Amino acid sequence: MEAQKANTFSPNSLGQDVNPDLDIERKNISFTIERLTNILDGGAENTKIRREVEAVLQADPEFSQENQYFQNQNERYENAIRKSVYFLQKKAEMGWKEDGPEQKYCYRFLSNDLAFNIHIVFMKSILALGTSEQINKWIPLAKKYFIIGTYAQTELGHGSNLRGLETTATFDVATQEFILNTPSFSAMKWWPGDLGRSATHAVVFAQLYLKERCYGMHPFIVQIRSLRDHSPAQGITIGDIGPKMGFQNIDNGFLILKNVRVPKENMLARFSQVLPDGQYKKQGSEKINYLTMIVIRVTMIQTEIVPNLMKACTIAIRYSVVRRQSELKPGDPEAKILDYQTQQQKLFPQLAAVYAFHFLCDYLQDIFNRCYNHTKEGKFDLLPEVHALAAGIKVITTEYCSAGVEVCRRACGGHGYSLLSGLPSIYERLVASCTYEGENTVLLLQTARFLIKCYGMAQMGQPVPSSVAYFSSISFGKCQAQEKKDFLNPDIYIDAYKHRAFRIIENVAIKLQQLVQSGKAQHEAWNQCTVQLARAAMVHSHYIVVQKFAEALEKFAKESAIQRVLKNLCDLFALHGIFSNAGDFMQDEYFSTDQIDRVTETYLDLLAVIRRDAVPLVDAFDFSDACLNSALGSYDGHVYRRLYEWAKKSPTNHQDNRVFKTYLKPLFQNALSKL
Amino acid sequence: MEAQKANTFSPNSLGQDVNPDLDIERKNISFTIERLTNILDGGAENTKIRREVEAVLQADPEFSQENQYFQNQNERYENAIRKSVYFLQKKAEMGWKEDGPEQKYCYRFLSNDLAFNIHIVFMKSILALGTSEQINKWIPLAKKYFIIGTYAQTELGHGSNLRGLETTATFDVATQEFILNTPSFSAMKWWPGDLGRSATHAVVFAQLYLKERCYGMHPFIVQIRSLRDHSPAQGITIGDIGPKMGFQNIDNGFLILKNVRVPKENMLARFSQVLPDGQYKKQGSEKINYLTMIVIRVTMIQTEIVPNLMKACTIAIRYSVVRRQSELKPGDPEAKILDYQTQQQKLFPQLAAVYAFHFLCDYLQDIFNRCYNHTKEGKFDLLPEVHALAAGIKVITTEYCSAGVEVCRRACGGHGYSLLSGLPSIYERLVASCTYEGENTVLLLQTARFLIKCYGMAQMGQPVPSSVAYFSSISFGKCQAQEKKDFLNPDIYIDAYKHRAFRIIENVAIKLQQLVQSGKAQHEAWNQCTVQLARAAMVHSHYIVVQKFAEALEKFAKESAIQRVLKNLCDLFALHGIFSNAGDFMQDEYFSTDQIDRVTETYLDLLAVIRRDAVPLVDAFDFSDACLNSALGSYDGHVYRRLYEWAKKSPTNHQDNRVFKTYLKPLFQNALSKL
């Protein structure tokens, strides 16, 4: 019943009836869906605001996503610009503030369809790197979209290694200007969003040259297009980078600078200044900028990564109780595919991961807030740990969620290949997060560097940060669990994850040490260990996820029904991880073959337990049909009718018969006399 | 040198020079690339024919793939029809026969761009299921494309379970016609290629009803569109299923039949006939049809699955020696990303898999041929084994190759998301193969059924088919390898794979037995074991791949250089499998923790060994630039110039300024007075 309430505003073009195969899944639910929705939203008040926002956006035909899957890149871009500009009016009209609670719910509903995401980063970079004069000059204009900015850092030949960027900015004392140049093909700016066809300004990162000496990378505000007619500014070559997987709404662009002059005031000068005579002056600590990077990662996990896996689970699980295929029992009608163990084994670990990552986000936000408060007091002590944690968590969430979406998509069989399922576009969008905001392998190695350092400290008896406290406390031994039910004890599996992480980190730390002792240079030894170092960072992050999920359960001690379903998911997440990585857990015979066999059985038993709650658990995510935009996943479960109705609208069905006349008719004529 | 010869016909719009970073990889090659190319082609004569065919197609501007990534679904379809019709003329002109050696090389070059793939299946089904009169009537017309056919089996609600199909064909004795109907939404035909906008005829599968009794699924030839004006035939509703991942060139369609009448002669009647009075008559054995299904799978692995991973490896490995990022040694220039262990760990297992699967195809073709010859003599003894083998191999190759392409794509960082890299379209195309021609989970369970049966036979001392001979011969023990070099002995790792497979199959066989003994119904017990059964089929197939790769090495005893590089790849493939699935191999302590650690070290060492041969190993695949169609993967390595040149051609760069005028200019005007 709660579930229906949660969706009362869903428009339902196919009528109010629900497919009985889906309807029955919503009978006799063992927990209150609405309560779980509130938990996921962070409180009933948030749920209320979210629904109000969604209802407003949904009721406005300007925001319809109906034809999205039929549009080409140019149409998607134009649509995004139109919606984004209209959205500004709408926000003003509704009185929704930039920093108000509505903002993130708008994003949840509209994100795939908006432009100007990098314009936000443009503003954030000015706020972070600019002086107060610079902020006062640019931010009011940018906030009202009187100018549109982009963040031009990445180059065609340079991504992760910022020191390798080639763009130059040379100070000309005579005119008090910086002269910006793109010295080679590989130096052109490439990928920035909003650059290709929209932006008027850019924060351009370039190597600063003063009197022929390089001072490293600095940010410059550059006008790149005319505000009057949008033509490229002098010395600027600019364009769109062309077709790509996903992000059709965004005009990722390229930018070539040839002797582009900007006034001295355009170097963002909060942390370093160029004096009129060309002298360089540093001021303050740039460490604080790490916070910006971290907060971007935290926000993207919360608003982009986890919600997209939620959507995919909703679509795949609802479809799997509507789709019937073959018989489970000979002579019976065809069975729901969700009743097959193999289908459960595909989908439920993804569902468990969504919930695991949801609670992980809460933890990450908490520790980030603590770090932020320390920093405000001038203490940077928590920064390395939070940086390492956020990097590792960015990797594990993006890897698991993008792989998970693809599992969900493929679990829908042929229909998962139809764009109308909604799943291909979710995958395209999500998998890119493995690369942007820090390429995952690069990030893992950053986390690994932190872990190796902490391991060394722990070995020397020094205190270590809390997330790696187990480096000091671990005692080698074997898993004590005997019976199947023992493996449902969080203490048992948390210890197992801890042991696994410690063993892998220690292994590679020792290898690294041995290589150096055997005469290898430090950098060479490091490179020979990077596969294992990356793995170490991953298994450490995996441990954090399991530990924080189990911890979160304690908060629901007074709500036994909610706690029970969440506990099942936590157990599943943890046991699936052991089942899928048994070798790690069998090191040093921590787990015996028998114990692993029992883990497997316990894990498989859990699939059948979660089966009963599967639909309510995705209903709790409370995505409206308009937001899901999936022919397979809508609340009423009328999958086949919707696929057919939507397909009929496809442009492939609205062509003249030119192809027939030109190419086929001349062939077919030959058959006329014979048939 | 050989490599250059192999590409002499490559057009090179950017000049004849090769990027020095790529050029140096082709110096001092340890083996003869041309010889390896010949081996992959199945002989130097084949290489010659292939290159001649490719040269002809490449020289013809009608076959250019230049704008492929810029086209929308309608354009891709029209383009495919145009090329396919032109290709008919070209083949006639060149004297290339349907069954000639050129055919498969044309496909290698053109496949992404052609239509009428299902027309071929239409013909094959008539040849397999039709009487000689039917064959004589339809095949000559179809062969010349005077009619275009499709194969209408899958329904909107029914894929894998053919018995569940709902379409009906009821015999009307009065008119001697069959009346075909689509009784529900879920019964409409959905997905058949060439159906949406091209085909005039279809082989429609329907439940045959004679005097109100159902005789199961039968094939009927139905005319669905007019040859004269292409309008739908009476009672036919037909269209395109709309946007989808990949296969934009194909018009996958839907088909609804309402009292469509076809004459009695249109039921394909090789195996069953309806007599004029409505009596049903069966004749011959349909078992032979399994061969058709198997041969389709064998062909698709050879011509579609493996070549696409070859392409992805070529693109990613060439790009990885051109792309430089960060420093390996402080103060050095940025390093080639292929010199990082983490990059090698991503790409080389894919490269090894390509070679493994190439030799696996040879084995599969051999055993299929043997089976075919037996069948011609009326002996069906090999059929179950070959069916199980081909199903398992279809699964392992499609799973590994599609996952491998995605690894290659992501290993190219941001540029892997550009369609111009060629990689997204390869992934889209390849991953679909996990679903079509037998959904992978369904196929694994078919293979598992065979394995469980053979396990039972072996337990009772009965003889078993050769591919599962190890069921009878296995002796439990532990791996005897001690030193790192021992793990490079194929006998050691083949035994390990054999032990792993046997242990997992035995485990699930015992579980199945216990469940039944404990009172579970057979079908219930089976469902409770399916996750493990699917896994059993997978690890058995994995064993076959390793075993056949190692066997293939023996053929090159007289060519030490070739044998050495292939042996490295075989070792890598085998050890990567152990490294990635250590838990399986540690069961019963077959491998100890120490041994696993040594496998890991041996595996990581091999990455550095293969590094030297990486570029020559992909050059040996001998894809011309036109065939690869990748800005990242071309022979000359001018990645950045090509990305830029291609992006400039994108339609996103050839729009008027309507978007600016309509949406942005009104905003920007407000800034004019302030900047």
In tens, the pLDDT along A417-468 reads: 999 999 999 999 999 999 999 999 999 999 999 999 999 999 999 999 999 9
Kindly give, in sequence order, each residue whose CB lies less than 8 Å from that of residue A193, ignoring residues fewer than 6 positions away: A117, A118, A150, A247, A250, A251, A252, A253
User: Taking CA atoms, what residue in A is nearest to B239?
Assistant: A653
- Kindly report the three-state secondary structure assignment for every residue of B586-627: HHHHCCCHHHHHHHHHHHHHHHHHHHHHHHHHHHCCCCCHHH
Nearest-CA distance from A597 to chain B in Å?
9
pLDDT tens for A379-411 read 999 999 999 999 999 999 999 999 999 999 999
DSSP per-residue letters across A609-626:
HHHTTHHHHHHTT---HH
Kindly give, in sequence order, each residue whose CB lies less than 8 Å from that of residue A349, ignoring residues fewer than 6 positions away: A404, A572, A573, A576
Q: Give the single-character DSSP code of B258.
A: S
Place of tokens 């009487």: B131
Rounded CA separation A582/A595 (Å): 10
| Residue A131 marked in a binding site | no
Q: Is the predicted pLDDT of residue A252 greater than 50, yes or no?
A: yes
The values of phi and psi at residue B581, to 5°, are -130, 40
CB-based contact B659 A164, cutoff 8 Å: no
pLDDT tens for A66-96 read 899 999 999 999 999 999 999 999 999 999 9
Kindly give, in sequence order, each residue whose CB lies less than 8 Å from that of residue B180, ignoring residues fewer than 6 positions away: B167, B168, B169, B204, B206, B220, B222, B257, B259, B260, B261, B262
- The pLDDT assigned to B176 comes to 98
Question: In this complex, is the C-beta atom of A325 within 8 Å of any C-beta atom belonging to chain B?
Answer: yes
Closest CA to B470 of B493, B446, B487, B454: B454
pLDDT tens for A271-318 read 999 999 999 999 988 788 888 889 999 999 999 999 999 999 999 999
Kindly give, in sequence order, each residue whose CB lies less than 8 Å from that of residue B58, ignoring residues fewer than 6 positions away: B9, B11, B109, B624, B626, B627
- The pLDDT assigned to A292 comes to 85
User: Taking CA atoms, what residue in B is nearest to A583?
Assistant: B583
Nearest-CA distance from A77 to chain B in Å?
9
* Cβ–Cβ under 8 Å, residues A193 and A241: no
Nearest-CA distance from A544 to chain B in Å?
22
| Nearest CB to A85; choose among B230, B648, B667 | B667
| Nearest CB to B345; choose among A190, A196, A531 | A531
- The pLDDT assigned to A13 comes to 43
Rounded CA separation A107/A83 (Å): 12
Kindly give, in sequence order, each residue whose CB lies less than 8 Å from that of residue A5, ignoring residues fewer than 6 positions away: A34
Closest CA to A405 of A427, A377, A388: A427
Take residue B636 and report the two structure tokens written for it: 């000359």
Question: In this complex, is the C-beta atom of B154 within 8 Å of any C-beta atom belonging to chain A?
Answer: yes
- The pLDDT assigned to A161 comes to 84
pLDDT tens for A406-421 read 999 999 999 999 999 9
* Cβ–Cβ under 8 Å, residues A402 and A328: no
C-alpha dihedral sign at B91, B97, B98, B99: negative
Radius of gyration of chain B (CA): 28
Report angle CA B610, B612, B618 to the nearest 5 degrees: 75
Burial, B378: exposed, middle or buried (Cβ in 10 Å; 0-12, 13-18, 19+)?
exposed
Rounded CA separation B266/B178 (Å): 8
What is the maximal distance between C-alpha atoms in chain B? 94
* Cβ–Cβ under 8 Å, residues B247 and B241: no
* Cβ–Cβ under 8 Å, residues B69 and B419: yes
- The pLDDT assigned to B325 comes to 93
For chain B, the residue count is 675
Percentages helix, strand, coil for chain B (3-state, rounded to 5) are 60, 10, 30
Is residue A27 helix, strand or coil? coil
Kindly give, in sequence order, each residue whose CB lies less than 8 Å from that of residue B413, ignoring residues fewer than 6 positions away: A159, A160, A435, A439, B323
Rounded CA separation A671/B79 (Å): 24
Q: Which of residues 35-74 of A touch B (CB under 8 A)?
A: 69-70, 72-74
What are the chain A neighbours of B500 within 8 Å (beta carbons)? none
The values of phi and psi at residue B170, to 5°, are -110, 130
Taking phi over 0 as left and psi of -120 to 50 as alpha, with beta for the rest, A532 belongs to: alpha
What are the chain A neighbours of B410 within 8 Å (beta carbons)? 431, 434-435
User: How far is CA A47 from each of CA A232, A363, B123, B144, B421, rounded to the nearest angstrom?
Assistant: 45, 20, 58, 63, 43
The values of phi and psi at residue A214, to 5°, are -90, 130
Residue B93 CB neighbours (<10 A): 9
**Mutation target among A417, A597, A632 for the B interface, most CBs of B within 10 A:** A417
Q: Is the predicted pLDDT of residue A473 greater than 90, yes or no?
A: no
- The pLDDT assigned to A289 comes to 81
Rounded CA separation B188/A28 (Å): 34
Q: Give the single-character DSSP code of A178.
A: E
- The pLDDT assigned to A2 comes to 35
Low-confidence ranges of chain B (pLDDT < 50): 1-13
- The pLDDT assigned to A15 comes to 55
| Nearest CB to A672; choose among B227, B432, B671 | B227
CB-based contact A413 B439, cutoff 8 Å: yes
Question: In this complex, is the C-beta atom of A263 within 8 Å of any C-beta atom belonging to chain B?
Answer: no
DSSP per-residue letters across A346-408:
HHHHHHHHHHHHHHHHHHHHHHHHHHHHHHHTT--TTHHHHHHHHHHHHHHHHHHHHHHHHHH
Q: Is the predicted pLDDT of residue A492 greater than 60, yes or no?
A: yes
Q: Is the predicted pLDDT of residue A140 greater than 60, yes or no?
A: yes
